[in-house]
Structure 1
Amino acid sequence: MASQQAAPTATKSNDLSFARVVLSFRKWWRDDVMGTVDQPAVIEKRRAECVMSGRYMFMTAMSGGIAVLGLLLSSPAVVIGAMLLSPLMDPIMGLGFALAIGDYKWLRKSAKSLAWGSLMAIGLCALIVFLSPIQDITSEIASRTRPNLFDLLVAVFSALAGAYAMIRGREGTIVGVAIATALMPPLAVVGFGLATGNWTVFWGASLLYITNLMAIALIAALMARIYGFRTRLSDKQTQFQNFAIIAVFIALAVPLGFSLRQIAWEANSARQVRAELIANFGSSARLSQPEINFDGDPIQVSAFVWTTELKPEAEIKAEESLARAIGQKVDIDLKQFLVRDEKSAEQAQIISAQEQEEAAASQRADALADRLALMAGVENDEVIIDRQRRRAMVRAVELEGAPLVTYYNLERRIAATEPEWRVELIPPAKPLPTIEFADGELSEAGTKALALIAWSAGRVGAPVILSGPDAAVEVAQKELAEQGLPLVATQRGRGPNVTAEWGSIGQ
């Protein structure tokens, strides 16, 4: 009897403990996370950057033009260059935030900017392809003609990073590049399909572009809601406008839902393909990663298998089993390699995987060298690539009118595309920025200036001369000295700020 009474008591205690944890988390999230976000400032900034301007239209069109040229040439470096220019992040994020707060006017403005920018880019891409002597479907173009799981994940993670950065006031070019990665290549392929009259390419790339766009907008809206951005009705907002926003949300979700359904079917089919291919051989056999073309009719599958016993009927059996399992005809090209035993099969599989990885790594290194040469304005042979240490270095030519921060941003953008590499872009010794102080403390602009000076001095390898009030110079000198930079500090000067200039190497 006592044990029966104790059981409900224990359950109730557990429920109360869980409730306390939930309440504590909600309080922490409300006070320490949502409470630190300046929502009016975030919304005001997002509104201002969603305006359709001549600069926005021009940059979107140029980005599309560069992207389609990169796709025609099968040059990842040129495609990445297009992503660096793309301004599509602002209207897409505006679309998401407008959905989150229920602002119909802002939603319409963002959608208008996005639509006109996309049409401008598609038009220029189509014109370039129409006038180009090269109109072949390259591997870069073919890979952007249908949604897949990895494309969707790129869009989702880019949206998460972009929304978080904007809410926290840390947005920048790198986040924009991540979002453009999911949008500019398929947008350029839409123009290619239009110019060549290839409607399979046109509609496939359009679906990929719309799917990624919808995913980014919906994720941005979700992130904004999580951070406390809510609908605030005003006198001008009507119930009709609210219904219109809900309708837009549903319209965004429909193509995404269809794409997710297709992606899920393909992922499940890929698992079944691998299972059926290996099922015809013993446990000692080893299978390569199958290559599957779902666009073919029948579906095309190719793979290698290392086995201790050759089985000529394996292809036919696998084709019949897969046709029943996935409901479509399958054409399998299965190459069999005879090995002595299971250990030999494993070694052959490992060697094959290593060769593929080495080839892929070599291609990535070559592509990185191409991008660095393009950004630095030099020939490829002037880029130093250390494949073993994964280090890349290049000395940039001087760009007229470009300040030091331009080179700093270029290095960050390229480094973001290859996180496993150490990328160093050596800038010319351009004028250093002024280190600003406010009430004796480093201002936000001063902190950024210090970071830029530290980066520049580290790359150029020359000492820096600081001039200004004693206390301010001491603060700046301490910050830079902690990074091991050579300094010649002249602690004299007037005004609240510190100026910086290059010293000679022997100084």
Structure 2
Amino acid sequence: MTGETPPAAKQDVATSLRWRLLRARLHRLRTRFIHILLLPELTPDQAFDLRQTVRKEGELTNGYVLMCTLAAGIAILGLLQSSTAVVIGAMLVSPLMSPIAALGIGFASLDGQRIREAARVVAVGAAIGILTGLLLTLLSPIRDATPEILSRTKPTLLDLAVALFSGIAGGYATVTGKGGTAIGVAIATALMPPLTVIGYGIAVLQPMFALGALLLFFTNLAAITFSVALVTRLSRAARPLGKVEWTPRYVAALILAFLVLATPLSMTLMQLSQEGRVRIAARSAILAASGEGCTIAQLDVQSALFGEPSVKALVVTPAYAANAQANAETRLQQTLGEHVGITLQQILAADVQAQTRAMVDAAMERTAAGITADTPPYNAIRTAIGLPTRSLWADRAQRQVYLEPIALPGWSLADYRATEARVSGSTPGWTVRLVPPAQPTLAIWTGGDDANDGNNGKDRPADAVPPDLAVWALQRWGMAKVMLSGQDPQAVALVTRQFTDAGIAAQYQSPVPAPLPPSRAEPESRTPPPLVTATVYPARPSQQP
């Protein structure tokens, strides 16, 4: 009687065969994917030598500390002056690629010791970047929130894509040994500027700037590290999984390290998912509220770390739609089930050519002002100014808001300047320029206090202003040239010098003395009053020779 194979044994053999076939198929797919990516398939000896080289290059040295300090210093100075070229130049000396490559290989190899060592080096570099940004911001006289700084206060989908591609390129450079310097610039660009912005946010007492930049840094770090780990695992540069020590303490440390990087990445992905959902719903709501024939030229969705999202849109439309913003907010709330604020601007353009020109102008303004330059807080400025407003406009590139109130009875130039100083302090990130009602002439008094001038102030007009206030008014009116007249040469010279220092060309016009009646004798000579008259309005074209 011949022995038969038990059914259980047959099933085990079939299961083992399926696993072998699956592993063979996965191996073929992996090999094909490696060939597509032009990755080398390293031998065990080559992989071991590569891991040792990366580990040695990623060690903490005095040169690493120095180069991190120099890179962070150049980066924060470039951010403060909003110079993209300087920021990119700072990355040429940044040494962050080596420890991040070691960190990625550590995750790919599940090597807890290597993860700890590389994480310590990255943490030192991060601390240097934050402290350098903090100290140089405190020492710098310029602390304005430039577009370069604002663009690094929150992660975006483009930032995540840059980090992913930089990580893949970094992994490729690590396993092939080609192009490491140029790819290190891309990696450092995604990491060093956010670190210095964290220091900037602490220095200017803006915690939301610091928290947003911190989230951006961890998001980019996680994306780059996991991309490097993926490439090194595919190329077999990582340690074989069969040599991993699976002790409870070891597994807990690996899980903790993974969560430290995965948590901010998942937060960013959730935020980007929410922004995408709001963007789609907002586009439909704005188009429906603006009427037929309209085109959305710009649509930005902003969501704070701890706050509701907001939408800012620019619509080119052939006809103005009344209450379009309120209608769009209502439609958006019905779609999403929550309130989302919308700032909607409409540009009228009747034909296709005008619509195209309006869209190009909007794009050029967006480029000049920076992609992340937000809309000025017009409502907050109107509320703070507390005056009837004739017009309101903004220069986004300089982050300045110009406000022109109506002429108020009894108000002097000093009152308007004091109001401007009061409002400017209540609009962080924006500078308010109040344009007072224009005057044909300005009476400028250079004698100081009434008790100190030679005539005891008896010749001073009631509407006379000091020279610095006259300079302020002329700058707000945009006057680059004025005519001066006066009887006191020293007063005229003083005003001319102050106007020239402020960039205002002053041309002296000699006054014509009035003829004396024949019956009157020559008047007594006395010191002329320190009064200068500035003619603001130019002569009419019909009066010009």
TM-score range, shorter chain: 0.5 to 0.7
Query: In the alignment, which residue of structure 2 is the partner of 1:244?
Result: 253
Query: In the alignment, which residue of structure 2 is the partner of 1:306?
Result: 316
The correspondence of residues 445-460 of structure 1 with structure 2, limited to 5 A, is: none
**CA spacing shift, 1:317–1:65, aligned 2, 3 Å:** same
CA contact (8 A) 1:62 1:121 kept: no
Query: In the alignment, which residue of structure 1 is the partner of 2:342?
Result: 332
CA contact (8 A) 1:86 1:177 kept: yes
Query: In the alignment, which residue of structure 1 is the partner of 2:331?
Result: 321
**CA spacing shift, 1:225–1:359, aligned 2, 3 Å:** same
Task: Give me the identity figure in percent.
Answer: 36
Query: In the alignment, which residue of structure 1 is the partner of 2:215?
Result: 207
CA deviations over 1:397-419 (Å, ceiling 9, x no partner): xxxxxxxxxxxxxxxxxxxxxxx
Query: In the alignment, which residue of structure 1 is the partner of 2:120?
Result: 112
Displacement after TM superposition at 1:315 (Å) = 1.3
**Radius of gyration: which is bigger?**
2
Displacement after TM superposition at 1:310 (Å) = 2.5
**CA spacing shift, 1:284–1:236, aligned 2, 3 Å:** closer
Displacement after TM superposition at 1:114 (Å) = 0.6
CA contact (8 A) 1:42 1:169 kept: no
CA contact (8 A) 1:297 1:329 kept: no
The correspondence of residues 24-39 of structure 1 with structure 2, limited to 5 A, is: 24-26=28-30, 35-36=41-42, 38-39=46-47
Cα distance in structure 2, aligned partners of 1:92 and 1:27: 26
**CA spacing shift, 1:84–1:255, aligned 2, 3 Å:** same
Q: Which moved more, 1:147-156 or 1:275-284?
A: 275-284
Of 343, 348, 357, which residue of structure 1 is paired with 2:354? 348
Of 266, 272, 282, which residue of structure 2 is paired with 1:257? 266
Displacement after TM superposition at 1:159 (Å) = 0.3
Displacement after TM superposition at 1:169 (Å) = 1.8
Query: In the alignment, which residue of structure 1 is the partner of 2:501?
Result: none
Displacement after TM superposition at 1:168 (Å) = 1.6
Cα distance in structure 2, aligned partners of 1:298 and 1:20: 50
Query: In the alignment, which residue of structure 1 is the partner of 2:131?
Result: 123
Q: Secondary structure at the match of 2:343?
A: strand
Q: Secondary structure at the match of 1:304?
A: strand
**CA spacing shift, 1:134–1:149, aligned 2, 3 Å:** same
Displacement after TM superposition at 1:190 (Å) = 0.6
Cα distance in structure 1, aligned partners of 2:41 and 2:308: 56
Cα distance in structure 2, aligned partners of 1:329 and 1:202: 27
CA contact (8 A) 2:314 2:344 kept: yes
Query: In the alignment, which residue of structure 2 is the partner of 1:493?
Result: none
Query: In the alignment, which residue of structure 2 is the partner of 1:178?
Result: 186
Count residues with an aligned counterpart. Answer: 344
Displacement after TM superposition at 1:184 (Å) = 1.2
CA deviations over 1:360-392 (Å, ceiling 9, x no partner): 88999xxxxxxxxxxxxxxxxxxxxxxxxxxxx
Q: Which moved more, 1:95-104 or 1:19-28?
A: 19-28
Displacement after TM superposition at 1:235 (Å) = 9.7
**CA spacing shift, 1:55–1:273, aligned 2, 3 Å:** same
Q: Secondary structure at the match of 2:322?
A: coil
Cα distance in structure 1, aligned partners of 2:220 and 2:107: 17
Of 264, 282, 287, which residue of structure 2 is paired with 1:278? 287
Displacement after TM superposition at 1:30 (Å) = 8.0
Q: CA RMSD in A?
A: 3.1
Q: Secondary structure at the match of 1:287?
A: strand
Query: In the alignment, which residue of structure 1 is the partner of 2:57?
Result: 49
Displacement after TM superposition at 1:216 (Å) = 0.9
Q: Which moved more, 1:138-147 or 1:150-159?
A: 138-147
Query: In the alignment, which residue of structure 2 is the partner of 1:471?
Result: none
Of 74, 87, 94, which residue of structure 1 is paired with 2:82? 74
**CA spacing shift, 1:119–1:22, aligned 2, 3 Å:** closer
Q: What is the TM-score of this pair, normalised by structure 2?
A: 0.57
Query: In the alignment, which residue of structure 2 is the partner of 1:447?
Result: none
Displacement after TM superposition at 1:191 (Å) = 0.8
Query: In the alignment, which residue of structure 2 is the partner of 1:89?
Result: 97
Q: Secondary structure at the match of 1:262?
A: helix
Q: Secondary structure at the match of 2:311?
A: strand
Q: Secondary structure at the match of 2:58?
A: coil
Displacement after TM superposition at 1:127 (Å) = 0.9
CA contact (8 A) 1:155 1:212 kept: yes
Cα distance in structure 1, aligned partners of 2:68 and 2:337: 42
Cα distance in structure 2, aligned partners of 1:44 and 1:72: 40
Displacement after TM superposition at 1:285 (Å) = 2.0
**CA spacing shift, 1:348–1:304, aligned 2, 3 Å:** farther
Query: In the alignment, which residue of structure 2 is the partner of 1:294?
Result: 303
**CA spacing shift, 1:26–1:81, aligned 2, 3 Å:** closer
Displacement after TM superposition at 1:339 (Å) = 4.1
Cα distance in structure 1, aligned partners of 2:360 and 2:75: 31
**CA spacing shift, 1:75–1:243, aligned 2, 3 Å:** same
Q: Secondary structure at the match of 2:298?
A: coil
Letter of the aligned partner of 1:347 in structure 2? Answer: Q
Displacement after TM superposition at 1:64 (Å) = 0.8
Cα distance in structure 2, aligned partners of 1:330 and 1:164: 43
Q: Secondary structure at the match of 2:271?
A: helix
CA deviations over 1:452-503 (Å, ceiling 9, x no partner): xxxxxxxxxxxxxxxxxxxxxxxxxxxxxxxxxxxxxxxxxxxxxxxxxxxx
**CA spacing shift, 1:353–1:260, aligned 2, 3 Å:** same
**CA spacing shift, 1:174–1:257, aligned 2, 3 Å:** same
CA deviations over 1:180-199 (Å, ceiling 9, x no partner): 11111111101111222221
Gaps of 5+ in 2: 1-20, 371-545
Displacement after TM superposition at 1:327 (Å) = 4.7
**CA spacing shift, 1:35–1:93, aligned 2, 3 Å:** closer
Cα distance in structure 2, aligned partners of 1:363 and 1:63: 26
Query: In the alignment, which residue of structure 2 is the partner of 1:155?
Result: 163
The correspondence of residues 385-464 of structure 1 with structure 2, limited to 5 A, is: none
CA contact (8 A) 2:108 2:232 kept: yes
**CA spacing shift, 1:297–1:221, aligned 2, 3 Å:** closer
Query: In the alignment, which residue of structure 2 is the partner of 1:495?
Result: none
Gaps of 5+ in 1: 1-16, 365-507
Of 100, 106, 110, which residue of structure 2 is paired with 1:98? 106
Displacement after TM superposition at 1:338 (Å) = 3.8
CA contact (8 A) 2:55 2:102 kept: yes
Letter of the aligned partner of 1:330 in structure 2? Answer: V
Displacement after TM superposition at 1:314 (Å) = 1.6
Cα distance in structure 1, aligned partners of 2:74 and 2:63: 16
Displacement after TM superposition at 1:333 (Å) = 3.3
CA contact (8 A) 2:172 2:231 kept: yes
CA contact (8 A) 1:102 1:231 kept: no
**CA spacing shift, 1:44–1:324, aligned 2, 3 Å:** same
Cα distance in structure 2, aligned partners of 1:26 and 1:218: 18
Cα distance in structure 2, aligned partners of 1:71 and 1:125: 10
Letter of the aligned partner of 1:250 in structure 2? Answer: L
Displacement after TM superposition at 1:328 (Å) = 4.5
Cα distance in structure 2, aligned partners of 1:360 and 1:335: 14
Q: Compare the two structures and name the one with the higher helix fraction.
A: 1
CA contact (8 A) 2:40 2:176 kept: no
Q: Which moved more, 1:324-333 or 1:114-123?
A: 324-333
Q: Secondary structure at the match of 1:170?
A: coil
Cα distance in structure 2, aligned partners of 1:297 and 1:253: 22
